Amino acid sequence: MSKKDKKIILIAQCLVNPYCRVHILGQNFPLSQQLTNYLMERHVGIIQYLCPETSAMGLMRNPQGRQQYDNVFFRNHCKELIKIPMLMVREFIKNKYRLVCFIGLENSPTCGIHWGKHKINRYQTESPNPVDNPSPDDPFLRGIMAEILTEELSKEDIKVPFFEFPALSPQDSEKRKNFWEDLRKAVEPGYSDYDHEG
């Protein structure tokens, strides 16, 4: 591993502290351990921001859809939370570190990367449960924090891929496989499909 390739990553807090997740997303500690072990073994520094849902609504919150979080108050809360992590990113980049990617969380209304069509609950608002048969024509939205991060990185002209941590997908799923392939390509220069670890 080249000492010149100094790397950092920006991630949602629940990826290193699964207790932050709302209960329906589960607390997948083995998957979080797999992720952090991978990053540490490859000397990737981790920058995380506080979980916006936990810091706004506490641990005993009910699961909600993106619609409920899409308001000026919650957006302002997210913008405040990301200020220091973004300063950290800028400082590391200024000192020749490479931001390899951002990792959000699958099906998170705040930190998800692909928020598609969701079911409607009994109050006629968006539920946190995706529809059973999503269509390719469903709207493509990012979670509220992921959307704000896109804007903030764009202001700094920082271009990095956004990945989604597949906490809800089975171990042998295509989503899980694609996540690791994409992450390895971002972290390990020269990585190819032919020389990856099992």
> Does residue 8 register a pLDDT over 60?
yes
pLDDT, mean of residues 63-76: 95
Please report the pLDDT score of residue 152 as a whole number.
96
The predicted-structure confidence for 72-84, as pLDDT tens digits, reads as follows 999 999 999 999 9
Please report the pLDDT score of residue 2 as a whole number.
56
Dist. CA 66–CA 111, nearest whole Å: 10
pLDDT, mean of residues 159-179: 92
Task: Kindly report which listed range (56-60, 124-128, 135-139) carries the lowest average pLDDT score.
Answer: 135-139
Please report the pLDDT score of residue 39 as a whole number.
97
Dist. CA 57–CA 116, nearest whole Å: 24
Cα angle for residues 142, 143, 147 (degrees, 5° grid): 65
Structure confidence at residue 196 as a pLDDT band (50, 70, 90): very low
Dist. CA 164–CA 109, nearest whole Å: 12
Q: What is the DSSP letter of 152?
A: H
The total number of residues shown for the chain amounts to 198
Per the model's pLDDT, the better-predicted residue between 8 and 4 turns out to be: 8
Task: Kindly report which listed range (113-122, 128-137, 140-149) carries the lowest average pLDDT score.
Answer: 128-137
Structure confidence at residue 197 as a pLDDT band (50, 70, 90): very low
The predicted-structure confidence for 30-62, as pLDDT tens digits, reads as follows 889 999 999 999 999 999 999 999 999 999 898
Structure confidence at residue 127 as a pLDDT band (50, 70, 90): confident
